[in-house]
Structures are given as C-alpha cells and as structure tokens.
Structure 1
Amino acid sequence: MSFLISSKNPLLIFASVDGKKPHWLVALLLTLTFLILGQLLGYFARMPFETSINSIVNPAWKCAIPIFEQLISGNLPIVVCVFLWMYFYEKRPFSHLGFQKKKSVSLYFKGFLGGILMFGSVVGIMAVLHFVNWENGNPLLQGKEMLFPTFLLLIGFVIQGATEEILCRGWLMPILSARYNLWVGIFLSSSLFGILHGFNQNVTMLAVFNTVLVGVFFSLFALRQGSLWGACALHSIWNWLQGNFFGFEVSGQEAGPTLFNLKEIGPDWMTGGIFGPEGGFICTFIISAAIAIILFLNTNDKIKIQTQDL
C-alpha cells in the first residue's frame, strides 16, 4: 500500500517536482479542452475519406473500417494535444506520463493478461448464472471470417484505450495528486472519466458508477506498476473482448464485426442490458474484487521501477 501512495512512485514523481500544478478546476477544463479539440481535429481529418469508405463492398470491412477510422481519428489528435501542452508549456517529455522504456513489453503483457482474466471472469459468471446466450445476428458480421476485421479493430482499441489512459491516468491524476493528494487525484480523474461516459447511449446510474469504479481500478493498477503501459493494455483488450470478441455493446456502443456473438438474457441490473456488461452488477463485483486484490497485495511483492530508467 505504501508504494501506491509514495511520492517516489514513478507515475507521480515528475508531476510532483514540476512547478506547474494547476488548480483542480483548471486541470479538469484543460482535460476537456484536450478531448474536445482533439475530436474536432479528428473529425475534420477523416472527412476526405468518407467517399472512399462508402465505395467498400464487403460487408465486414464496410462495417469495420469506419469504426477503425473513428477510433484512430477520434483519439490520436487528443494524444497530440497532450503532447504539445507538455512540450511547450510544462517543458517535460511525454515519457513522464508513465512510459518508461525498461520492462515496457513485460508491463504491457501483464496488463493484456489482466484484461483477459477480468473480462473473462465477467462472462464466466454470466454463463454460470445462465445470463448469457448466443445471438442470431447478421451472419456476414460474425464468426471466424471476422478474424482480420476484428484484428484491425484491436489496433484501433489499442489507440483508444491508450488515449483515455494518457488523458485521465497519465496526465490528470498525477497533476492533481501533486497539487493536492493522491486520493483527490484518483477521485477527480475517475469521476470525470465516469461523467464523460455518462453521455453514451443507453447509460444507467449503475453504468456511470461502474465507469467511475473502473477509473479507480485503472489508477491503482497503474500506480501498482509505476507505469502506464499495463493500464493502457488492460483498457484496450477489455474493450475489444467485450465488443469484437464476445459481441456485447461497449459502453452502450455497437463495436461492429465480432468473432462470437453473445447477448445478455438475465436481469439488466446484473448483466448491464443494452449498455453492455459494464452496466451490470456482475461487472461491479469483478472490478471491486480487482481493486481489493491490488490494495491488499503482499507489500513484499512491490514492483520496483527506478526513475532513472524513464
């Protein structure tokens, strides 16, 4: 536990020594500015490609490519905005967000496995409780023939998941933690994360609560690693498994082609209903369990990452 809140945690140390620590309201407004400006830039960037996308004939690619394009164009410009702010105003490198070089592959792989384990547990519990069944969807958008279109979308979700982690856990949380304390940083960054998802389709109060809760989990997971690599991987594979592997909605959004196509058949408060599993109590239980595991891990099992390796 002490490693999580230590000022020497590599995820926090550079924000702590930097002199530019904005007021919490300014930090939240800056985050929204990065988000809105980045998405506007992405919107105009993808406009020239609309005509060529409409000419695609294959149903799977016609569905997958626009989603991929939106994942890339709607997120990469946000990362660019954060990078430019750090470079020109804060005068610090992008690696200070938690992208140290040492153990990056190992940390990313651990996050990848963690995401598989967590969302696999959600689906496993739903299956045991008979809250999930096969859905007879469009045969042209499901099955093993979707391997390559869904792999393309995995790349898109790698960008999307990393962007949200950079924005909320890489920049906002450490900045707020440096000015106030870690719990303020975690609470405000996770709350903003939940509020932003509250504008999604078919959202419920439980869905918003779960999104705030998973924001807390991502924060603790990143702090536990002292890095952002694992949180980026876990976030990305969670979304991809949910939408393009199992066929559920991702935070209320259709994810396109899917290898399997499952549907929730239990009570919505347990399964999330048309919002997807993230809106159900089963997901609440899994995320809460994951938070408990991080908080109560043996202190002798700390991951030690030296700041000079950044």
Structure 2
Amino acid sequence: MKYVNNGLRVCWIFFKTVLWELVTELISVIILTVLFTIKMLQLYGKNMNSRDISSYILHDLEYDPVFFGCLLILNIILILGLYVIYHRKEPDMLPFERKNCISKYIKGYICGLILFTLIWLISLGLGGFQVELIFKHGNLAMLCLFFVGYLFQGMSEEVLFRGYLYKRLNTFLPLPMVIALTSLLFAVMHLGNDGISVLAFINLIIFGVFTALIRYHSNSLWFIGAFHSAWNFTQGPLLGVAVSGNGNQQFVLFSKLSDATALINGGSFGLEGSLITTLILLVAIFAITKKFSCIEKLICK
C-alpha cells in the first residue's frame, strides 16, 4: 500500500510540475501576443485585414526573435510565483541563500560557458560544423535581449525541477530515486522540441542528473541556475547552435551543420544531441560524485 501511495503522490507532483510550466508559458504567450499584435496594428492597421492578423499571430510571431527573447524573460512569472508561495512556509523548497550568492552565480555562469564551449570546440575539431562570423553592430540589442532572457529561462527550469520538484519528491523518496525522476521529467518536457532523438533524450536525462547532483552538494540554486543560463546562451546566441531544437538565435557566430554524423554535431536538435555532450557530462558527473576538493570548493563556497 505504501508503494501505491508513493506512486500516486509522484504522479500528482509530476502533474503539478507540468501544470506550473504550461500555465506560466501560456500566460507569457498570451501577454506577448496581445502586446505584439497591438503594436503591429498601430504600425500597419490600415493595411491589415483579419486574415493578415491571424497569419501574423499563428505563423509570423513564432519566428520573431524579439518575441522569443521576450518570452524567455517572462519565465520570471514562474520563478516569482513559486517563490512567493513557498518562500515563507517552506524556505528550503527554493534555496536562494544570501551568503556568497553573487560568487556562486558568477562561478556557475563561467562554468556553463566554458563547458559548452569545450563541447563545441571538440565537435568543431571533428568537422561537425562550418563556422561563420555574423556579428554586426545591429545584433548587439538582440544579443542583450537574449542574454537577459536566458538568465530567467535557465533559472526558471532549475527552480521548477531542482527546486520545487526535487524538494517535493525528497520528502518521501530516497535521493537516487529523486534524481532519477526529476531528470526523467526534465527530459520528457523536451519531447516536443524539433529534432529530438534517442541520444538527445538520454543527454537531457544526464544533464538533469548532473544538475541535481550539484543541487544536492551545494544545497543552492544559484550555481546551477547560472550554469543552465550560460549553457543555453552560449550555444545559441554566441556560438550559433540550435538550443534543444530551437534555432534562429544566431547573433555572433553561425555554426552551420556539416556532413558529419549527428553523433558529432547533434543534428537539428543541436549539440545536446551529440555523443560528445554525453561523454563530457559523464566526466563531469564522475568528478562530482568523487567529491574532488576543487569541485567541492567551486560549487559549495
């Protein structure tokens, strides 16, 4: 009976986690769609009919990088929602401690940038991409928009999965199962992304394990939230690689897929679907589980 009750509790917590994600994303999409449509009508109202408006909302907005950048920023709705609800009654739910928070955030961001750049350089050396410099002065505003956007997007996913979900499951399940379940749901939430593959799905699970281990050892969301933000910002806006299947975010470099196998460059899903990412993340997990002193100092102080 205990296992049945635990199973039902896991399903209920999973449902609430998915609901948090969907509701906050829906609210963000509605807000931005209304604002962008109003702006479009102000500019071209006299020349637009109902069919043009419908086409703009259903098709054009999806490929508007400004819309997508603003959508990333509105992930703050999820962060603030969970923080307001749980900060006072369950402060351990979202561990945003004040001590050394700036230091942890900066170290986490630098580590995310370095680790993904390393993966990209290995793939580039193996012929996975053809790289083109596309940065122009006009790209600077968009680069800043996506920088801020990914600050919130990366942290929001960590708040949801390594904050709320992790803590909820950890109240009645052993740690290995908590890490496995949070990592699995994290990967499942990406199943609708373009270019998803079996290896990409496995890598998302491994990434979830990696971040959950850092959450466990540091008991903080600052480091891993910054790491996740830097990981996404580096691969998309900086290096020009698809971010979990999401393209059209190249502002500095454009990493065009070569004829190399997807095991090298990840295909249309991006480098998160490559074997290189698998190996690098496994090495990182090994380093964390072995509790090397340098790793402990990095993530805990």
Q: Which residue of 2 aligns with 1:273?
A: 267
Is 1:235 equivalent to 2:233 in the alignment? no
**Residue 216 of structure 1 is aligned with which of 209, 212, 217?**
209
Q: 1:126-151 deviations in whole A, cap 9, x for unaligned?
A: 12212221259xx6xx4454233112
- Please say if residues 143 and 260 of structure 1, whose CA atoms lie closer than 8 Å, have aligned partners that are also in contact: no
Opposite residue 78 of structure 1, the aligned amino acid is L
- Give the superposition deviation at 1:84: 4.8
Provide the C-alpha distance between the structure 2 equivalents of 1:286 and 1:250, rounded to a whole number of angstroms: 17
Alignment match, 2:157: 164
Q: What secondary structure does 1:261 align onto? A: strand
TM-score by length of 2: 0.82
Paired residues of 1:250 and 1:275 also in contact (CA < 8 A): yes
Indicate yes or no: 2:179 matched with 1:181: no
Listed one character per residue, the Cα deviations across residues 7-34 of structure 1 (whole Å, up to 9, x for unaligned) are: xxxxxxxxxxxxxxx9211111110111
Instruction: State whether residues 131 and 256 of structure 2, in contact with CA within 8 Å, keep that contact through their aligned partners in structure 1.
Output: yes
Q: Which residue matches 2:13? A: 27
Answering whether residue 245 of structure 2 is matched by residue 252 of structure 1, we say yes
Deviation at 1:231, TM superposition (A): 0.5
Match in the other structure for 1:79: 79
Whether contact under 8 Å (2:113, 2:230) holds in the other structure is yes
SS of the residue aligned with 1:134?
A: strand
Matched AA of 1:260? L
Residue number in structure 1 paired with 2:50: none
Aligned partner of 1:42 among 28, 35, 44: 28
For residues 65 and 135 of structure 1, what CA distance do their matches in structure 2 show? 22
Q: Distance in 1 between matches of 2:29 and 2:113?
A: 31
1:63 CA displacement: 4.4
Secondary structure of the residue aligned to 1:91 is coil
Please give the alpha-carbon distance, in whole angstroms, between the structure 1 residues aligned to 2:300 and 2:128: 42
SS in 2 for 1:23: helix
Q: SS of the residue aligned with 1:274?
A: helix
Partner of 1:115: 112
Report how far residue 222 of structure 1 moved.
Answer: 2.2
1:132–1:262 Cα contact (<8 Å) kept: yes
CA distance in structure 2 between the aligned counterparts of 1:36 and 1:98, rounded to whole angstroms: 23
Q: How many residues align?
A: 273
Native 8 Å contact 1:207 1:272 kept in 2: yes
Aligned-residue offset at 1:166 = 0.2
TM-score normalized with structure 1 length:
0.80
The percentage of aligned residue pairs carrying the same residue is 27
Q: Structure 1: how far apart are the matches of 2:10 and 2:114?
A: 35
CA distance in 1, matches of 2:72, 2:281: 25
Unaligned runs of 5+ residues in structure 2 are: 1-7, 45-62
Q: Which amino acid is the alignment partner of residue 227 of structure 2? A: L
Q: Which residue of 1 aligns with 2:3?
A: none
**Pair 1:298-2:298 in alignment:** no
* Equivalent residue number for residue 97 of structure 1: 94
Checking the alignment, whether the CA contact within 8 Å between 1:53 and 1:65 is kept in structure 2 is no
- Asked if structure 1 preserves the Cα contact closer than 8 Å seen for 2:288 and 2:295, the reply is no
Give the Cα–Cα distance (whole angstroms) in 2 for the partners of residues 230 and 53 of structure 1.
Answer: 38
Aligned to 1:66: 67
Q: What is the root-mean-square deviation of aligned Cα atoms in Å?
A: 2.6
Please state whether the residue corresponding to 1:262 is helix, strand or coil: strand
Counterparts of 1:211 and 1:40, CA distance in 2: 23
Per the TM alignment, residue 104 of structure 1 is displaced from its structure 2 partner at its CA by 0.2
The alpha-carbon deviation at position 119 of structure 1 amounts to 0.4
* Whole-angstrom distance in 1 between the partners of 2:296 and 2:117: 26
Give the match for residue 190 of structure 1. 183
